[in-house]
Amino acid sequence: MEFGSDDERERFILGNFKVIAVVGCSREEGKPSHDIPKYMQEAGYKIVPVNPNADEILGEKSYPSLLDIPFKVDVVDVFRPGSEALEIAKEAHSIGAKALWLQEGIFNESAEKYAEDNGILFVMNRCMMKEHVRLIEGIN
């Protein structure tokens, strides 16, 4: 699928995919890896926490890895170091995710190439919450 701009791709992801696995989701309020998924949950998305050190986050069962999730997810949202992103991209592909989103400050060009080569929509170094507010809620 081709998009004319990053905004078009992000608007498509946020407008069409509703189940988001959050790798590195935190139980700790005040951390972006907690507050951003909480915002997305409150905006109507199903959040699937992926954290091997938690049983439950945001009232949802937490899974040790993407490979442990027993149902389909649309988007894999990443709050882990960029050095882990290629492996996460491979797991996202193996579970049939349609998009991989690396949060603000997270970069990995190998993960980008892998995602694109395998038909996974890819976003890098963008805050999902900020983009949702800007593109979906229409606040600039």
Distance CA 6, CA 96 (A): 22
Give yes or no for residue 140 having a pLDDT over 80. Answer: no
For residues 79-103, average pLDDT: 98
Distance CA 112, CA 119 (A): 11
Task: Read off the pLDDT of residues 37-64 as tens digits, 9 standing for 90 and up.
Answer: 999 999 999 999 999 999 999 999 999 9
Give yes or no for residue 36 having a pLDDT over 80. Answer: yes
Cβ pair 129, 79 in contact under 8 A: no
Task: Read off the pLDDT of residues 72-86 as tens digits, 9 standing for 90 and up.
Answer: 999 999 999 999 999
- Residues 98-111: b if buried by 16+ CB within 10 A, e if exposed: bbbbbbeebebeeb
Cβ pair 20, 37 in contact under 8 A: yes
Strands (E), the chain: 19-23, 46-50, 56-57, 60-61, 75-78, 99-102, 121-123
Distance CA 99, CA 89 (A): 9
Please give the model's pTM, rounded to 2 decimal places: 0.96
Query: What whole-number percentage of the chain has pLDDT above 90?
Result: 95
Task: Read off the pLDDT of residues 109-134 as tens digits, 9 standing for 90 and up.
Answer: 999 999 999 999 999 999 999 999 99
Give yes or no for residue 10 having a pLDDT over 60. Answer: yes
CATH T-level fold of 6-136: Rossmann fold (3.40.50)
Count the alpha carbons within 13 Å of 12 in the hemisphere toward its beta carbon.
16
Q: Which amino acid is at 114?
A: Y
How confident is residue 139, by pLDDT bands cut at 50, 70 and 90?
Answer: low
pLDDT at 118: 98
pLDDT at 66: 98
Cβ pair 76, 99 in contact under 8 A: yes
- The mean pLDDT value of the chain amounts to 96
